[in-house]
Chains A and B, each alone.
Chain A
């Protein structure tokens, strides 16, 4: 168990800058999720912590030790890959025991540690199977088992759930969370899925084009996004962005963001809209309305409320405190 510290970490591939200086302090036992769209540099950042990519400048410290030039194997980390990266020619047991065998751990201890990991992950019946004889979820568990048996100081997860179907993903998400809590190991988890980020993270890092736009607890980030990008990326359906010029008293050029759940449909709203189409999801209904300027805006309401007909003309309104104001550069400037 250890802390992880990143100080002004940068990465360039040739002349292309991929990561533009990231600072991050991870406490011992903390679960940090790095979330962002594809190509934002989140995996590269994780691979730099793992030692699979060199650090162009800045410092990476694990447990207070500078590890910039330390080989992956000497960093006391374990990594779970997106495609699991299991050794296809080895049984589940050998996959999990591989690292321990290389470390020349005594046979009895290897068996004990693999057995307890297998028990934890319900893999006992499969120990003698090859990876190709396992389902996606089981392979995922083996990859986790391989990480656990080595008792690393830090777990690194590189989009571990992306290859699973939706239902299994939700289940494994809970298992990863429970496992991390139980073992108390510091974890760094990369995903493009904001729901995974919201549910797993103690703190999350929202990355955008190589910059950490915001670092904070999930609900704080959700409630108080510092940039328009974060507001738009976190939350589903995403935040609605309106040209501030539509609202009397606000300067054009700025943008206001309002989350769908903060919009209310009323005959006498602040803005007049036309209902484009509606999506009734059971517990809630999403209502997509078209603004006079052609932009679309989405409101979310409980299933108990009346669902307006498509094509109906309706007003839309919100509380002042729920509207977030962003300047032309996408920076948050306050409430309206």
Chain B
């Protein structure tokens, strides 16, 4: 069945999509083009001239062990953030879905963290885990655990993962709850009569029916972990200790704006661009097929 709206002329549809096209062009195509262009040059220290190096920046990048390590860091970080934020959100949504009394208040409280900006969230967590004055690290000290994410790489990673995932839980929770409530109650009841207990129902009915939501969140969360966690990392660890939390996006920033190596920074941006395109294609081509709509 044809349900599309059809326009008679060509000018109205163009006018309607124009704002989006302009925004995309100015904020995406132009900078992306600039990055591709700059990745082929090395500017002099004063920014007065540029020297053509072809793929030299890329060759240098991939022979750099720090850059290769950053790939692993990014993978670990993204997987952890996605799994933690989606796992916790799904668990909370399952509980909230069963709730009858006070569901509204519970939901509102769970949505709050989403309103906190990533950098602010980073500062909040930094305060709590501050090695000298942090509440949590003080209690950990009482328990005999010496918390120091400034020196310990694992602890640093743990802290940026938790603070990145925290704000994300609200967002994922909302989608999971909506997904759960869209499942007809009678389907769950039918499964209960068929003999399925709570976890069996979850495994065989609820989770498969949630898969469109899960898939959507998976894409959104990985992209979030890749690109939007900059603020958290910048405020908490600044990529340290020893680059243990330097994800690819953070490295673009620290090499380009701190290290002033604009050519390498641009090359890294191009690599990221390429990576995201591949990621998107892979996700839509292969994962989507296993999703029940």
Q: Please, what's the 1-or-0 string for A141-155, where 1 marks a CB less than 8 Å from any CB in chain B?
A: 000001000100000
What number of A residues sit within 8 Å (CB to CB) of B? 23
Given A85-B187, A87-B187, A102-B200, A72:B205 Cβ within 8 A? no
For window 170-212 of B, CB contacts with A under 8 Å fall at 184, 186-187, 189-197, 200, 204-205, 208-209, 211
| Residue A98 lies at the interface, judged by CB distance under 8 Å to chain B | yes
Distance of A28 Cα from B187 Cα, bound (Å)? 28
Give the residues in chain A near B186, CB-CB below 8 Å: 81-83, 85
For window 61-86 of A, CB contacts with B under 8 Å fall at 71-73, 77-79, 81-83, 85-86
Distance of A83 Cα from B211 Cα, bound (Å)? 22
Give the residues in chain B near A83, CB-CB below 8 Å: 184, 186
Asked if A88 contacts B209 (CB within 8 A), the reply is yes
Q: Please, what's the 1-or-0 string for B77-111, where 1 marks a CB less than 8 Å from any CB in chain A?
A: 00000000000000000000000000000000000
Distance of A86 Cα from B183 Cα, bound (Å)? 11
Give the residues in chain B near A281, CB-CB below 8 Å: none
Distance of A106 Cα from B95 Cα, bound (Å)? 34
| Residue A166 lies at the interface, judged by CB distance under 8 Å to chain B | no
Give the residues in chain A near B189, CB-CB below 8 Å: 50, 52, 72, 79, 81, 85
Asked if A72 contacts B192 (CB within 8 A), the reply is yes
Asked if A87 contacts B195 (CB within 8 A), the reply is no
Distance between A331 CB and nearest chain B CB, rounded to angstroms:
37
B195 touches which of A81, A88, A103 (Cβ 8 Å): A103
B193 touches which of A78, A86, A87 (Cβ 8 Å): A78
Closest Cβ neighbor of B208 among chain A residues: A89
A81 touches which of B190, B208, B211 (Cβ 8 Å): B190
Asked if B192 contacts A73 (CB within 8 A), the reply is yes
Give the residues in chain B near A86, CB-CB below 8 Å: 187, 190
Asked if A98 contacts B209 (CB within 8 A), the reply is no
Asked if B190 contacts A85 (CB within 8 A), the reply is yes
Distance between B6 CB and nearest chain A CB, rounded to angstroms:
27
Distance between A21 CB and nearest chain B CB, rounded to angstroms:
25
| Residue A232 lies at the interface, judged by CB distance under 8 Å to chain B | no
Distance of A140 Cα from B197 Cα, bound (Å)? 25
Give the residues in chain A near B190, CB-CB below 8 Å: 79, 81, 85-87, 146
Asked if A73 contacts B195 (CB within 8 A), the reply is yes
Closest Cβ neighbor of B211 among chain A residues: A89
| Residue A238 lies at the interface, judged by CB distance under 8 Å to chain B | no
Give the residues in chain A near B4, CB-CB below 8 Å: none
| Residue A99 lies at the interface, judged by CB distance under 8 Å to chain B | yes
Additional 6 contacts, C-beta under 8 A, given A52-B189, A73-B197, A78-B193: A73-B192, A85-B189, A85-B190, A86-B187, A99-B194, A103-B195
Name 28 interchain pairs, CB-CB below 8 A, sorted by A: A50-B189, A52-B189, A52-B192, A72-B192, A73-B193, A73-B195, A73-B196, A73-B197, A77-B193, A78-B193, A79-B189, A79-B193, A81-B190, A83-B184, A85-B186, A85-B190, A87-B187, A87-B191, A87-B205, A88-B292, A89-B208, A89-B209, A98-B194, A98-B196, A99-B193, A99-B194, A146-B190, A150-B194
